[in-house]
């Protein structure tokens, strides 16, 4: 009965096209109605309690900081600086997109924000520079996954809250996997550019490098301030998000002078709308996760899986397959809040480090964001740049294959995630 309620019912409701938060709320309300022992007043307590978290404040602040940096000139100067450093290489324009996504990810953990900031500048240049709309659209959609893996990552913040794990430790554990995704993408870009004989860009000129470095100094300083402050013990991740907003406003308004106070109001209004969408999902997912936990489902799941006597590698492979499918339908915040209470006890019982599992879960959901046919990054790229969805589906397939290779490495080589933590200790 529990399996029908907590797993089958949500799938059926999703198949009818209902929004995720409605699906989770209806499932939770059905569970409360069928269980008279659960007090009805617990509903509002759990819903508001799911949002009553200091680390959760980092999410709207990082979203706002990313939007301001994307429209306030910081992202553009960062891209120009990266481009000046790798000119003269066949494929340098596409490599710029990957490297810029890595650096933008260190300022904001929003995948859609990365697609908007990087894509607005580079998609037209890629499309008209010998790459074509299929490759350009696929590359831009895939770069959002890199942004999710590079700290500060919003999904990692949510996993840290849901799994009661250290958020700074998760950030540090995500560095090498994030670089691995970017490195594989760059290798593919170099091969593609050579095979397709993509035109060369202008060679590196040190005068231009110096000029772009001076112009982008404040942009380069953003990740240094944010991550340096966290690991230097100066402020928490939530406080770092607040500092990021102040830094973005100061640089955009007074240094680069590319936005007015009226522009900042419009940017903030858009960010509030996005944050509202995220928060209502978090609240409804918190209620669903609480109901699943109180029903004893995690303990039943642990006992059932142990009875199957699966080897650890088989279990992790099954989790990866399930997470990839779920990640292509659900947004990462909802997926993490719903699945963490179920999966984390299972893997911990088998000796998997919870920080390592957090990186596995984040990587799966990041890849799911551009997995056809329903990945969020695909719809964002389609809406922003008017790339037909069938063209995007073909364009992301090579990157999907590469990222799946990276996922296997991340899953079965814990050292990739845990080595930075060991070095820090």
pLDDT in tens, 194-249: 888 887 776 777 788 888 889 989 998 888 888 888 888 888 888 888 999 999 99
In this predicted structure, what is the pLDDT of residue 2?
62
Flag whether 124 is in a domain: yes
In this predicted structure, what is the pLDDT of residue 184?
94
The answer to whether 271 and 63 are in contact (CB under 8 A) is yes
Distance CA 420, CA 107 (A): 20
Of 140, 113, 158, 147, nearest to 361 by C-alpha is 158
Of 60-74, 87-101, 273-287, 348-362, which one has max mean pLDDT?
348-362
Is the pLDDT score of 75 beyond 60?
yes
Greater confidence (329 vs 146) lies with: 146
Distance CA 246, CA 240 (A): 10
How many domains would you assign to the chain? 1
Is the pLDDT score of 110 beyond 80?
no
Which DSSP category does 165 fall into? -
Distance CA 213, CA 221 (A): 11
Flag whether 75 is in a domain: yes
Whether residue 249 is preceded by a cis peptide bond, meaning omega within 30 degrees of 0, is no
The answer to whether 21 and 284 are in contact (CB under 8 A) is yes
Is the pLDDT score of 297 beyond 80?
no
CA 410 centroid distance within chain: 16
Q: What angle do CA 363, 77, 100 make, to 5 degrees?
A: 20
Distance CA 357, CA 234 (A): 27
Distance CA 336, CA 40 (A): 25
* CA end-to-end distance (rounded Å), the chain: 46
In this predicted structure, what is the pLDDT of residue 56?
79
Is the pLDDT score of 377 beyond 60?
yes
Flag whether 2 is in a domain: no
Flag whether 3 is in a domain: no
Flag whether 382 is in a domain: yes
Flag whether 42 is in a domain: no
Average pLDDT estimate for 66-75: 87
The answer to whether 174 and 419 are in contact (CB under 8 A) is no
Provide the token pair at 113.
């924000």
Is the pLDDT score of 73 beyond 80?
yes
pLDDT digits (tens, 9 = 90+) for 6-46: 677 777 887 777 777 788 888 888 877 777 777 667 677 77
Is the pLDDT score of 292 beyond 70?
yes
Provide the token pair at 261.
């106070």
Greater confidence (139 vs 327) lies with: 139
Query: 312 lies in which domain range?
Result: 51-424
The answer to whether 79 and 28 are in contact (CB under 8 A) is no
Greater confidence (181 vs 278) lies with: 181
Of 126-130, 144-148, 172-176, 334-338, which one has max mean pLDDT?
172-176
Flag whether 36 is in a domain: no
Block residue for tokens 């870009």: 189
Is the pLDDT score of 172 beyond 70?
yes
Q: Is 115 helix (H, G, I), strand (E, B) or coil?
A: helix
Alpha-carbon separation of residue 337 from 20, 201, 291, 292 (angstroms): 12, 45, 12, 11
Distance CA 169, CA 231 (A): 10
Alpha-carbon separation of residue 17 from 5, 11, 27, 139 (angstroms): 18, 10, 15, 28
CA 319 centroid distance within chain: 19
Flag whether 357 is in a domain: yes
Q: Categorize the per-residue pLDDT at 404 as very low, low, confident or very high, splitting at 50, 70 and 90.
A: very high
Residues 6+ apart with CB under 8 A from 302: 345, 346, 349
Provide the token pair at 390.
């069938």
């Amino acid at each position: 009965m529990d399996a029908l309620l907590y797993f089958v019912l949500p799938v059926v409701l999703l198949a009818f096209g209902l929004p995720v938060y409605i699906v989770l709320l209806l499932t939770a309300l059905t569970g409360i109605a069928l269980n008279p022992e659960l007090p009805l007043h617990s509903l509002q307590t759990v819903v508001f309690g799911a949002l009553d978290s200091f680390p959760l404040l980092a999410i709207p602040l990082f979203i706002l900081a990313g939007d301001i940096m994307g429209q306030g000139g910081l992202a553009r100067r960062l891209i120009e600086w990266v481009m000046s450093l790798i000119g003269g290489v066949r494929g340098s324009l596409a490599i710029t997109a990957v490297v810029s996504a890595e650096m933008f990810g260190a300022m904001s953990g929003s995948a859609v924000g990365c697609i908007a900031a990087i894509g607005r500048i580079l998609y037209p240049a890629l499309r008209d520079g010998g790459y074509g709309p299929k490759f350009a659209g696929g590359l831009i959609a895939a770069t959002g996954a890199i942004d999710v893996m590079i700290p500060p990552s919003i999904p990692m913040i949510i996993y840290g809250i849901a799994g009661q794990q250290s958020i700074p430790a998760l950030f540090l554990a995500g560095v090498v996997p994030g670089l691995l995704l970017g490195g594989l993408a760059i290798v593919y870009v170099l091969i593609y550019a050579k095979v397709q004989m993509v035109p060369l860009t202008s060679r590196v000129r040190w005068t231009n490098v110096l000029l772009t470095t001076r112009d982008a100094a404040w942009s380069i300083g953003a990740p240094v301030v944010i991550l340096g402050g966290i690991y230097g013990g100066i402020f928490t991740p939530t406080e770092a998000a607040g500092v990021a907003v102040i830094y973005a406003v100061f640089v955009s308004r007074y240094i680069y002078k590319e936005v007015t106070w009226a522009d900042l109001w419009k940017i903030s209004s858009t960010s509030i709308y996005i944050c509202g969408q995220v928060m209502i999902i978090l609240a409804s997912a918190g209620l669903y996760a609480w109901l699943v936990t109180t029903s004893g489902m995690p303990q039943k799941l642990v006992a059932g899986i142990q009875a199957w006597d699966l080897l650890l590698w088989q279990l992790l492979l099954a989790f990866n397959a399930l997470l990839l499918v779920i990640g292509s339908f659900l947004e990462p915040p909802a997926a993490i809040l719903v699945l963490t209470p179920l999966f984390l006890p299972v893997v911990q019982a088998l000796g998997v480090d919870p920080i390592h599992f957090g990186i596995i879960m984040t990587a799966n959901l990041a890849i799911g964001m551009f997995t056809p046919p329903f990945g969020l990054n695909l719809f964002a790229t389609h809406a922003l740049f008017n790339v037909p969805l069938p063209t995007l589906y073909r364009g992301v397939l090579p990157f999907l294959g590469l990222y799946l290779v990276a996922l296997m490495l991340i899953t079965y080589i814990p050292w990739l995630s845990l080595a930075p933590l060991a070095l820090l200790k």
